[in-house]
Every structure is written in C-alpha cells, then in structure tokens.
Structure 1
C-alpha cells in the first residue's frame, strides 16, 4: 500500500508540476502575444500618423496642356480681343416661346413652402416675370457696362471682365482676381465692383478687377476632352493673369472660386500676394475630418464655445449637408444627364438654380412660400445670373467641373493637404454650408491671419452682402500689404493685428486700473501668463498657488505673473474692473492683474492671439477654459503651454529651465 501511495503522490506531483509548467508557458505566450500586438499597434499608429500628417509633394502639372478641339491651329490667335455680351433676338424669341408654352406644374402640397423643393406657385410668378417683364435689351446693356475681353489660353477662348479704376496718382492700384463658383457667375460681382474701385478712408489703394468666366461657364469655352479639373483650371487662370500682364495679384473666391484660389496659392505661391475667401474650408484634409468628428464628443477641444453652434451638434449639420448636397452627387456622377434636362427647359434651369439661392442663403428660407428670396435679391438680378447659363447653353459644361473634382485622379493630388505660405483671410457667414475654425484652416494656410465672423448671410456672399464683402476685402488686402511690408516703414506696422510679432514685448496692454502697460517693461523676466476668473471651481487652488509661486520666485529668480481676467468660460468673471480689484485685494494678490479681456473669438486680445499661435494647443490653438498658462522666457518668447488642469506649483520644474 505504501508503494502504491507513494506512486500516487509522485504522479500527483508530476501532474501539478506539468499544470504549473503549462500555466507558465500559457502566461508567457499570452504576454508575448500582448507585447507583439502592442508593438504592431504602435507601429501601425505611427504609420497612420505619418501618412496623414506628412504633406504630399506638389503634383506635376503641364502648364501648357492643350484643352481645345483638334486639329490644333499652328498659329493660334493669342491676342486679347474686346468682347460684347449679346442677347440675340433668336435666343430671346426661342426663350419666350418656351416660357409661353410651358406645361402646367402640379400644385405644391399644402403648407410645404420649399421643403419639397422649389414651390411651383412661386415658380409661375418667376417665369411670368421672365417672359413679360424682364427687359432683355436693358439687361444686355447692363452686362456691358464693364469692359469684357476674350483671349485664347491653352486652346480655350477665355472670357473675363476687366475694370480699371480712375483715381488720383497718390492712390495705389492693385490687381484683384475675382473667382465665382456654381451656380453663380460673373453676374455676382456687378454690385461689389463699384465699391472696390472707389477709394475709401483709411486705405491708400483701390482695386483693378479681373473677373473671368471659368472654363465651361458662361462666356468661356469648355474643354473638348476630360481632365480639366480644379488643378488644371487653376493653371488656365494663372496663365490668363500672366497674359493680361499681372505676375503678382490678390485673389478673392468662394465656392469653386475658393477651391481655385486655394490651389493657385498652393501651386503658384510666388504669384499670389494674398488670398481672401468667403468659404474657408478644407474639404479633403483627413485631419480636418478627424478633428471635426472628435469635436462631436468634446466640442470645446475644437471650436470656441461662442461659435460651437456653427459646427455642433454634428448630426444636425450633417443632416443639412445631406439634404442640400443631392445636386453635388448628381453632378459629380452624371453631369451630362442633368445638363440635358436643364438645357431643354428654362423652367427647369430656373428652379434648379434658384432653389440653391433659397436654401444656401439661409436654410430656414425653405419654410417660406416664396423661399424668402425677394428680401435678399430682386427677380431681375436672379434672372441675370440664369441668363448667363441660358444664353450661352453652358449648364452642362459647367456642372462637369464636379465630375472632374470628385474623381480618383483629382483627389489623389491631395492638394488640400499641401501647406501654403500665402497670407490668407477668411470671412465666415453664419449660414454658409459648413464651418471650420481657424485651428483647422491653419493645417493648410500657415499664414492664416484673420477670420471675420458675420451673424447673417450665406453662400452667395458678394451677391447678397456686397457692402460687407467690399469692406472685408479692403481690410484683408491692407493687412496683406502690411504683411509684405509694402506700405510705410516697418516700425509703423501694427504687428499685433498681423499676428506677426516676434515677442510679447511688441504688445501694449491695459492694467486693472485702465492704464497702458508696454510689455517690454518685463524684459529679462521669466513670465507666467494666465487667464483667470473669480467664480470658477479652479479659482481657490490657482489663486493660492499663483500667490505662492510669486512669493517664492519674484525676487530670487526675476519671475513675474501676468493675470488676465476673462468672462468667456461659463461667465465666471462677470464683474466690473472695480469688482475684480476688490476680489484680488481681499485675496492679497501681489502679482500683476490686467484689464478683463477676451482670449478667443473675433475680439480676442492681440497678445492672446499671439500666445495661441506661438504655442498651439493639442486640439487647436484656442483657449479651452479658465487658468490656461503660458511660460515666457527672458527673451519674451512663449516657450511652453499648460492646460487648466495643471496647477501652478506643478510648473516649478518647467520654470526652472528658464531661470
């Protein structure tokens, strides 16, 4: 029995040992798998990060590619020829016949306004006006009030308006290229041109206007073969400007005009003195989409709180884009199909175009029985734009640009991902199709200088708001000229407005008593600059520790703290200067406190604009909350940035690097 028991025990031990060894082996294998998986995940993440953050090379474009019909002329006429817009009697009679003999429209559903598309009751009114009250000859004269020209570029007859101002010799004339989009045309620019060629107070320049019809649009010839996408069209426009005699110029564009202006600024940055856009967007940048999606879960990471409603809730904005972008999918896939329908029917053309003017001006317009079109536009002006397409039979060739934009060849160029140093300025109307904050736009536009925020207006900016647009273009170009140091002396330039200062010593601020303080008084000091609030959950900890830091290092290490009250985060600094002064006196604050300011948005203090640009945050340069902190070295250069979650005393080892 003892032998049997002994063998039994021995077998039991062997079994336990084997199980133990198996467990160790399994555990080792599991750890090995986890380790290898972690390495592979890290490598994959690094590869993805590199792929989406490394800009592609500029595409190789043929700057003389021929787009005209074959056979090519051996000696093409490259002269610049005067051109007259004509509404021929044959065209007018044909149009009136079509309008007269149109079929009756099915009535709209009750109380639907424009929610099902263009309201047929209002369409009857539009077409009756077009047939009976639109004065074709008068409008022809209107179109010809400016000088028009035609010249052949790369095999295509390209039309453009050229308007030169008549000004005194002390006023500088600078060239401005105006680029339209779809379903717009050169007609959009007629109200803004007089404002751009007229001198105004505070500006010593006016504009010489060059406004081409894009190839295939209106009065410009369409290409004879596929492939004239945005990049190739940008080459044509660039060559047009050289033909006219302008090696350097400013650009303004929206819609397709924004896309072309962006590409010209990217491919030919030495030719563009500044780019003004009323649709500042990166449509094809993967990081822009990633940040936008991330902001759906934490909007404050991406966009300033006061502008959050322009982007989020994301689902609402995506729903609007889906509702309003059906035309885009159709034109990007079957442009000739929709082109045939719109070429045959003036009613169809009017409905298709004016529907965009309704909902892209303000999405709430669709609830109105007349699309709320007439408070913003006159029927004559709207029909002028439609006449550009109808009289030239160019709708089919115009919408082909969408097919040439949204295809594998064009998208593979990744032009939105290639940075440009051309100074850029955006104006953002409230009801534009989409909104992106400056932090996203700076992924491409490295010298994105300013955004003008407008609490109204939509997609057709120059048509709808010519006064606002003209003022903004003047302000933008004045800033561009200062950026290039082409006006005045360098010491006269307002560096804070340009976001081009080199140190904080270039700024003047007001202290809590309202007195001007030039920051060059802090030369030789290490600084901590912080936005503060007196009613925040972080107030006690931060104020106590800021006091402690100041007492420890103000004298021994030439250290100073500059605190700027701000009420932009949860309205937690609502008081007046007197209230803030009382608060800091009760706390025994010894560091320097300044006048209440804004740190984000259009009215952001120039110092804080500079701090944010120099030390960008993790998900954008805007300030996220109270008690964000910047360390500035003894040379006045912002060197490190910390979020509200970092307590002041935690900064001691970082400050020590700059003593």
Structure 2
C-alpha cells in the first residue's frame, strides 16, 4: 500500500538522472554495525519460536483487556469493528497450533546472507529442470502488512513443471526490517535502497539477469529494480504496477473530461469520476500519512500487544481487499483463513518488527526521494500489470506506458483484491506463469532475446 502518485506527480521531472551519481540515493551504504565485516556466505535458516515467546504471547492473549464496543451499525467504516476481534484472538489463543504452523513455515528451504551490513533472510527454491526445459530465476517481493508468508500458497504451483518451456527458480526475501531480515540503526533505508540490496542478493545467488514480481510495497521495489537495472531485469510482473511520471498524472487528469479516450467504457468506473477516487484515497489513506510522518509512534502502538498488532493489520487487510469492505460486518476478511492471517502476524510478533517495517514508508516518501526523481524515470523492461477489481487504484494502460515503455499487457480482472496471492492462489499462479511466458515471447520478438529467459544479444 505504498501508492503515492498524487504527491510525487506534483514534483518536476529530474533531468539527466543517473542513480550511480545521485547523492540522494544510498545505493552502497553500510547499514549494519561498523564493527562487522560482510559475510558473503549463504547459511541455512529455520524459523524457531522459543517456548518463552509463545508462553508470553498466550498470556497476553488470554489476559487482554475488554475492548471498546463499536458504534451501532458502523461495521468496518471506523477502521475496525471490535466485535469481530474475538473471532481471531480466541482462535490464536486456543486453536492455533504453534508446532504445526512453525513446521508449515519451515517447509521451504530458507537462508541468510549478509549484504551491506545486514542479515538478509530469503526463501530459495531451485527446482529440477526436466529435459527439454530451461530454468528462469524469479525474485518475488511481498508487501506491507505482509511477509514472505504471502507466497506460501503459490510456491508449489509456481515451481512445478508445466506445459511451458521453462521452470521457475524462486527467490523470496524478507525486506530489511521485516521478519527475519535485520533492521538498520541508520536513517535512509527505503524502497530504493532495498532494490540495491536485492540486486546484490540475486547476483550473489548466481543470477546476473532475472525476472521480478512485486505487489504492494514489493511493486515499488520492483519499479525501482526495473528503473535502476534495466540491463539486469529481464521482465517485471506486478499486481500493482505504478506510473508516477508527470505524463501519467497529466493523462489521468485530462481523461476526467472524456474518459472514453483513455480506457474502455466498462473500466471507466474504476477511476472516474476522479473526485470519487480522490475521496476514497482521502478516506482510507490516513494510515499512509502517519506511517510516513511518525513511524515510531504508530509502530509502538501497533507492536506492543498481540491485540493491537492484529487490529491494525485487520484494518489494513480489510480496506485494501475491497473498497466496499467498510460496510461488511466482518470487514470482508472471511476470504482469508485464520491461519493465513495469524502465520503472518507471528512473523512480525516473533521478530518484533512492527516499528522497523513501518519505517519503510518514512524512508521512501520524503523530500530526499522526491528531489531525486527516480520515481518518474521510464524503463524499457518488458512489463505486465495485473489489475484486480478491488485494487487500490486503477491506472490506464496509456498512463502505465509512460513509465513502462515496453508494456506487454495489462491483465484486468473482474473481481478480487489487492492481496491476490493470498486470496486467489490458483488465479495468481496462472497469471504469473502466463505473464512470464508472454514477456519471454515479447523479448524474443522485439528485443533480440533468446528462449533461455530472454537474454538479449
């Protein structure tokens, strides 16, 4: 939920941009303690929930204070309905099987390595490559308030050999300050800087060129990777592709006069009247402002108790799963299982990363990044955008094309929401695999790419 074109579009385009010489971007900064050296080894990792942590958590869950009752008939329109909290909290305290769920989170091979002073956690799966097929590396980037858990329901089907010519090797990192990756003690580590860390990760794993999928905050990092490393990113697939160029903003504004010039008639209501879109953003993006302005204040409130962590996350999952969820008595959250939600919560609770994860907003949306202007730099990386009906913001292809000059396709869905991999795993996998196939074919036909992952000659 890192969408910010309304702010960024007000800033004039930067001329002659080059991130390598831009002092506003900390692309090679040491983020860890000065006393340590970078350990480039790749070490196995397993999630281990200490008995003391679980016992303390259960005590807090079972001895929580009574919650303030909601106003009558407000459902989720005030951000949360406390009448629904026991549905989640009682399950967490009494029915959530910590041993089984810990095993579930350890079902895939996980690793640690040190990059720019920080321990970076990642899932890495190299499937067997059947005869006659080739392997392509895919970096998959989660969002907020998500984690690597977002992709657990899709991994098996992504790496499974299909009727396509390729199989997929997946790399799924935890962002710095999220889950089992280290946080920094220095200011400045935003989504731009994370892009450099993940480029180094892929290079360390032996991939000079690779594909990227990103949603939510992962889409912002994916945008940055495609912008900074167009020679390395072979293709970009996103469930929240964002164009923040001046041209995109101008097109969207001008299109409000006659929307049919910008998009098909059956999609106009996703964006226009523009005042409805702006009203929605003003109403539901209060979290964004406080995350950006005062991350440590809200981080303390969110991370202090399991009730507060659950409440904040449910609020965010609700408003971005469907725009109409405010009128739903359960916030529309029945589309997710309780284990899905609580597995994700456990990663934050175990690592105490409520505050450090929220800092990503403040380190991304600030004057330093606005002055740099990299948000508005076009990229030639072949791109496919997926747009669910309940996505945060609909962006017309003409607007996207001002950022992604090789926009291969826009896959428009008639349903579903922002967290597609969690909500609809089968649909997500089919869109991702077909998207990668179309990007490879586009590269072969238009960018002198070969069949082995589109390596340009």
Same fold (TM over 0.5): yes
1:398–1:54 CA distance, 2 compared to 1 (3 A) = closer
Shift in Å, 1:486: 9.1
Shift in Å, 1:414: 1.3
1:123 aligned to 2:85? yes
* Cross-structure match for 1:140: 102
* Cross-structure match for 2:301: 341
Shift in Å, 1:427: 0.6
Shift in Å, 1:300: 2.1
* Cross-structure match for 2:51: 89
CA deviations over 1:479-502 (Å, ceiling 9, x no partner) = 222233299x9999xxxxxxxxxx
CA deviations over 1:297-344 (Å, ceiling 9, x no partner) = 222233222210110011111111112111110000000001111121
Whole-Å Cα distance in 1 between the matches of residues 228 and 325 of structure 2?
39
Contact 1:175/1:249 (CA < 8 Å) preserved in 2? Answer: yes
* Cross-structure match for 1:237: 198
Name the SS for the 1:149 alignment partner. Answer: strand
Is the deviation greater in 289-298 or in 340-349?
289-298
* Cross-structure match for 2:413: 454
* Cross-structure match for 1:327: 287
* Cross-structure match for 1:377: 336
1:395-410 equivalent positions in 2, closer than 5 A: 395-410=354-369
Is the deviation greater in 354-363 or in 164-173?
164-173
From 156, 162, 174, the counterpart of 1:213: 174
1:350–1:413 CA distance, 2 compared to 1 (3 A) = same
From 61, 65, 69, the counterpart of 2:29: 65
From 379, 403, 414, the counterpart of 2:373: 414
Shift in Å, 1:287: 2.5
Whole-Å Cα distance in 2 between the matches of residues 391 and 491 of structure 1?
45
Contact 1:420/1:444 (CA < 8 Å) preserved in 2? Answer: yes
Contact 1:55/1:419 (CA < 8 Å) preserved in 2? Answer: no
| Count of aligned pairs between the two proteins | 436
Contact 2:13/2:373 (CA < 8 Å) preserved in 1? Answer: no
Contact 2:38/2:115 (CA < 8 Å) preserved in 1? Answer: no
1:485 aligned to 2:449? no
CA deviations over 1:160-185 (Å, ceiling 9, x no partner) = 00112234222211111000111111
Contact 1:428/1:453 (CA < 8 Å) preserved in 2? Answer: yes
What is the alpha-carbon root mean square deviation over aligned residues? 2.0
* Cross-structure match for 1:440: 399
1:470–1:378 CA distance, 2 compared to 1 (3 A) = same
Larger radius of gyration: 1
1:390–1:134 CA distance, 2 compared to 1 (3 A) = same
* Structure 1 gaps, min length 5: 1-50, 493-659
Name the SS for the 1:116 alignment partner. Answer: coil
Shift in Å, 1:55: 5.1
Higher relative contact order (CA 8 A, sep 6+): 2
Name the SS for the 2:372 alignment partner. Answer: coil
* Structure 2 gaps, min length 5: 1-10, 452-457
Whole-Å Cα distance in 1 between the matches of residues 181 and 13 of structure 2?
38
* Cross-structure match for 1:362: 322
1:39-188 equivalent positions in 2, closer than 5 A: 56-59=16-19, 60=21, 61=25, 63-71=27-35, 73=36, 75-188=37-150
